[in-house]
C-alpha cells in the first residue's frame, strides 16, 4: 500500500470519527439513539439531525427523559460535558420544535426530563431482596396510574430503619422531607413530632373508606393523639423461628417448642459440628428483635405486654430468667454474628450454614426472592398461640414537595391492588382484611390463620409497643448486657427508663 493510500485511509477514518457529526443528515422519522464519539457536542448533533444548532436543549431533555426509564441513556447535567460512549436520544424535528416552544432558559427543570407532574420521593429502608421486590410491586401499580410522575426510590440501607430514622428526622427538621416515608404503626410516630412535621390523614381514610377495611386493633394502633398519621401496607410477625429442613431431617430432629427443647436441639447439633443457632448482630436492633421473642416466650403474652404498660416491673424474676435464656441462646450462635446483617444471617439458613434463625417474616420475603423452599417455621420457644405484630405504614410530611403525588401513593398503599402486589413478595400479610389468600405462599397462609386466632401483642423493636426513646434505651442496655452479662444492671436500667418515660411510677 502506498504512503498516499495510507494517508487517505487515515484521513477518512479521522473524518468518520470527528467530522461526521458535522455533516447534515436526513431528518429522523422517529427519534434515534446515538452514541457520542470524539468531537461531538450537542449543538453539532442538533445541527446535523434537526437542522438547528440551537435545538441542543431538545436533545438534552429527551436524553434525560429516556434516562429515567432506561439508565443506559446518559443523564446530562451540563450540555458542555458529554463524552465518547455516552448514549443520547435525538428526537424528531417536530418533537424538538414542540419542546423548544415551551423551553426557555429559566425553566431548567425541563432539561432534566422532569415528568409533567413532577416527582414522588419515597423514603424507606427497604433494600434487601424481598423488601425491594415488594416495593417494586407497589411502584408498578403507582406508575401505571400516574405515568406523568417520576418515582424516586430514596432508600437508606439498614434493617428496621436503624439508619433511616435518624436521616429522616434530620430531613424533617431541616424542611427537606421526602414526599412520603415508611413509619411503623404504633408509638414510633411520637419520635417524629407528628403535630409539627406530619399531615394527619383522617380525610384520606374517610375518602378511601379505610376504616372499614383494616382490623379495629390495627386502627387503634395507628391512631396517635386522635389522628391517623400513616396508611398501613401490611402486618408482619416478629416471632418466627425459621429452620433449615434438611438439617433437621438429616439429624432426626423436630422443631423445638420450649426453651428446654431448643437447648436440647442445640446440644445435639453442636455435638455434630453444626451451628445450631444463627444470629446477626451487626445492628443493635437485631439483638433487640431476638430478645423481644425471648421475653415473650419467658413471661407469656400478658407479662410481656405489661412490661410496656408498667404493670410488669423490669425487676421481675421473669425478666432475669429471659436474660439467662437469651445468654444461653447467644452461646449457641455463629461466632461471626457481630458482622452479619439480618439478610446476611437469613442467607446462612439458605446455604445450610446453620439450623435455626429467629427473625421477622420479612425473612420469608427473602427466601421467596432467592427461591429457597427448604425451610420450616414455628413460633420461637414458649410463644405458640401468640402473634407478636408490627405494621409498616407510609406517612405524609407537612412539607412534602409533591403532596398530591404523595396522597396518590398513599391511596395505592391502602388499596387491595397495592397490598396484593406488595405482600406476597415482602413476606407479610395484608393490613386489609379482603386480600385474596390464594396469592400467598404456605408460610403466609399459616400467618393469616394465626393472625385470626392468636393472642396479638405489639413488637417493641418495630415501633408498635413503646416510644422510640425507650426502644433506644432497650437496645443500648442489651448491647451492654452482651458485653457484661450483668442481669441486675439491665433490669435496673430498664426499670429506670420506664419511670423516666412516665409509664412506671
Minimum CB distance to ligand GAL, residue 189 (Å): 14
Contact stretch for ligand GAL (CB under 6 A) within 146-154, 156-164, 368-376, 491-499: 156-164
47 binds ligand GAL (CB under 6 A): no
179 binds ligand GAL (CB under 6 A): no
Minimum CB distance to ligand GAL, residue 131 (Å): 5
236 binds ligand GAL (CB under 6 A): yes
390 binds ligand GAL (CB under 6 A): yes
Cβ proximity to ligand GAL: between 17 and 153 the closer is 153
CA distance 343 to 218: 27
Minimum CB distance to ligand GAL, residue 159 (Å): 4
Helix, strand, coil distribution of the chain in percent, nearest 5 = 50, 15, 35
160 binds ligand GAL (CB under 6 A): yes
Minimum CB distance to ligand GAL, residue 390 (Å): 6
CA distance 421 to 413: 10
232 binds ligand GAL (CB under 6 A): no
Minimum CB distance to ligand GAL, residue 461 (Å): 7
Listed as own residue / partner, the contacts of 209-215 with beta carbons closer than 8 Å and 24 or more positions apart are 210/414, 213/414, 213/416, 213/432, 213/433, 213/434, 214/431, 214/432, 214/433, 215/431, 215/433
Cβ proximity to ligand GAL: between 256 and 414 the closer is 414
* Cβ neighbours of 289 (radius 10 Å): 27
DSSP assigned state of 198: B
332-351 positions binding ligand GAL, by CB under 6 A: 342
Collapse the DSSP code of 357 into the 3-class scheme (helix H, G, I; strand E, B; otherwise coil) and give the result. Answer: strand
367 binds ligand GAL (CB under 6 A): no
CA distance 301 to 318: 12
Cβ proximity to ligand GAL: between 89 and 394 the closer is 394
165 binds ligand GAL (CB under 6 A): no
Cα dist. 491→108, 325, 494 in Å? 59, 15, 5
159 binds ligand GAL (CB under 6 A): yes
Contact 76, 63 (CB under 8 A): yes
82 binds ligand GAL (CB under 6 A): no
Minimum CB distance to ligand GAL, residue 335 (Å): 23
168 binds ligand GAL (CB under 6 A): no
Q: How many helices (H) and strands (E) does the chain have?
A: 20, 17
362 binds ligand GAL (CB under 6 A): yes
> How does DSSP assign 430-444, residue by residue?
ESSS---GGGS-HHH
Minimum CB distance to ligand GAL, residue 295 (Å): 17
Site for ligand GAL (CB under 6 A): which residue of 40, 47, 95, 131?
A: 131
CA distance 418 to 422: 6
Minimum CB distance to ligand GAL, residue 341 (Å): 9
Contact stretch for ligand GAL (CB under 6 A) within 21-29, 159-167, 245-253, 301-309: 159-167
Cβ proximity to ligand GAL: between 360 and 381 the closer is 360
Minimum CB distance to ligand GAL, residue 269 (Å): 26
CA distance 440 to 319: 36
CA distance 403 to 401: 6
Count residues binding ligand GAL (CB under 6 A).
14
Contact 21, 37 (CB under 8 A): yes
101-120 positions binding ligand GAL, by CB under 6 A: none
Cβ proximity to ligand GAL: between 11 and 157 the closer is 157
Site for ligand GAL (CB under 6 A): which residue of 95, 366, 392, 420?
A: 392
Minimum CB distance to ligand GAL, residue 389 (Å): 11
Cβ proximity to ligand GAL: between 194 and 427 the closer is 427
Minimum CB distance to ligand GAL, residue 363 (Å): 9
Cβ proximity to ligand GAL: between 184 and 305 the closer is 184
CA distance 194 to 177: 13
Minimum CB distance to ligand GAL, residue 329 (Å): 20
462 binds ligand GAL (CB under 6 A): yes
CA distance 361 to 344: 15
Cβ proximity to ligand GAL: between 21 and 428 the closer is 428
C-alpha 263 chain-centroid distance: 33
Closest to 169 (Cα-Cα) out of 469, 374, 499: 469
H-type helices in 282-369, by residue range? 284-307, 317-331, 342-350, 362-369
Contact stretch for ligand GAL (CB under 6 A) within 125-133, 242-250, 330-338, 478-486: 125-133
* Region of residue 502 (phi > 0: left; psi between -120 and 50: alpha; otherwise: beta): left
450 binds ligand GAL (CB under 6 A): no
> How does DSSP assign 64-133, residue by residue?
HHHHHH-TTS---S-TT---TT-EEEEPPHHHHHHHHHH--TT-GGGGGT--TT-EEEEEE---SHHHHH
Minimum CB distance to ligand GAL, residue 230 (Å): 12
Which are the contacts of 160, defined by CB distance < 8 A and separation ≥ 6?
125, 283, 285, 286, 289, 342, 461, 462
Collapse the DSSP code of 218 into the 3-class scheme (helix H, G, I; strand E, B; otherwise coil) and give the result. Answer: helix
Site residues for ligand GAL per CB under 6 A: 125-126, 131, 159-161, 184, 236, 342, 360, 362, 390, 392, 462
Amino acid at each position: 500500500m502506498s504512503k498516499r493510500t495510507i494517508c487517505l485511509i487515515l484521513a477518512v477514518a479521522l473524518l468518520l470519527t470527528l467530522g461526521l457529526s458535522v455533516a447534515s443528515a436526513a431528518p429522523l422519522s422517529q427519534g434515534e439513539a446515538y452514541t457520542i464519539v470524539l468531537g461531538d457536542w450537542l449543538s453539532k448533533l442538533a445541527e446535523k439531525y434537526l437542522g438547528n444548532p440551537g435545538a441542543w436543549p431538545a436533545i438534552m431533555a429527551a436524553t434525560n427523559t429516556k434516562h429515567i426509564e432506561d439508565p443506559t441513556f446518559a443523564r446530562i447535567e451540563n450540555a458542555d460535558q458529554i463524552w465518547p460512549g455516552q448514549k443520547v436520544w435525538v428526537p424528531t424535528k417536530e418533537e424538538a420544535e414542540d419542546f423548544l416552544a415551551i423551553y426557555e432558559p429559566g425553566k431548567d427543570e425541563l432539561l432534566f426530563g422532569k415528568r409533567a407532574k413532577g416527582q414522588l420521593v419515597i423514603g424507606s429502608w427497604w433494600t434487601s431482596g424481598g423488601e425491594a421486590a415488594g416495593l417494586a410491586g407497589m411502584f408498578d401499580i403507582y406508575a401505571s396510574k400516574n405515568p406523568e410522575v417520576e418515582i424516586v426510590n430514596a432508600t437508606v440501607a439498614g434493617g428496621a430503619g436503624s439508619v433511616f430514622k435518624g436521616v429522616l428526622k434530620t430531613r424533617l427538621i431541616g424542611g427537606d422531607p421526602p414526599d412520603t416515608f415508611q413509619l411503623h404503626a404504633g408509638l414510633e410516630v411520637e419520635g417524629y413530632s407528628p403535630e409539627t412535621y406530619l399531615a394527619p390523614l383522617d380525610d384520606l381514610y374517610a375518602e378511601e373508606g379505610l376504616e372499614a377495611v383494616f382490623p379495629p386493633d390495627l386502627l387503634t394502633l395507628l391512631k396517635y393523639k386522635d389522628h391517623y398519621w400513616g396508611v398501613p401496607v401490611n402486618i408482619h410477625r416478629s416471632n418466627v423461628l425459621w429452620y433449615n429442613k434438611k438439617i433437621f431431617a438429616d439429624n432426626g430432629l423436630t422443631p423445638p417448642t420450649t426453651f428446654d427443647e431448643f437447648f436440647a436441639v442445640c446440644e445435639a447439633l453442636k455435638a455434630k459440628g453444626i451451628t445450631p443457632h444463627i444470629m446477626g448482630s451487626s445492628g443493635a436492633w437485631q439483638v433487640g428483635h431476638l430478645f423481644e421473642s425471648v421475653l415473650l416466650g419467658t413471661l407469656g403474652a400478658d407479662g410481656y405486654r405489661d412490661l410496656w404498660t408498667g404493670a410488669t416491673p423490669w425487676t421481675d424474676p421473669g425478666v432475669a430468667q429471659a436474660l439467662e435464656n437469651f445468654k444461653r441462646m447467644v452461646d449457641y450462635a455463629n461466632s461471626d454474628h457481630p458482622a452479619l446483617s439480618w439478610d446476611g444471617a437469613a442467607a446462612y439458613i439458605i446455604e445450610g450454614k446453620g439450623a435455626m434463625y429467629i427473625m421477622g417474616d420479612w425473612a420469608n420475603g427473602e427466601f421467596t426472592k432467592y427461591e429457597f423452599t427448604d425451610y420450616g417455621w414455628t413460633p420461637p420457644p414458649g410463644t405458640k398461640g401468640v402473634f407478636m405484630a408490627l405494621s409498616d405504614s407510609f406517612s405524609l410530611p407537612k412539607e412534602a414537595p409533591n403532596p398530591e403525588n404523595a396522597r396518590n401513593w398513599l391511596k395505592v398503599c391502602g388499596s387491595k391492588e397495592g397490598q396484593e402486589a406488595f405482600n406476597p413478595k415482602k413476606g407479610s400479610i395484608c393490613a386489609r382484611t379482603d386480600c385474596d389468600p390464594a396469592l400467598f405462599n404456605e408460610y403466609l397462609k399459616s400467618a393469616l390463620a394465626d393472625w385470626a386466632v392468636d393472642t396479638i401483642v405489639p413488637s417493641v423493636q418495630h415501633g408498635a409497643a413503646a416510644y422510640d426513646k425507650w426502644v433506644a434505651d432497650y437496645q443500648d442496655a442489651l448491647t451492654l448486657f452482651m458485653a457484661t452479662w450483668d442481669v441486675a444492671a439491665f433490669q435496673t436500667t430498664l426499670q429506670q427508663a420506664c419511670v423516666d418515660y412516665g409509664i412506671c411510677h
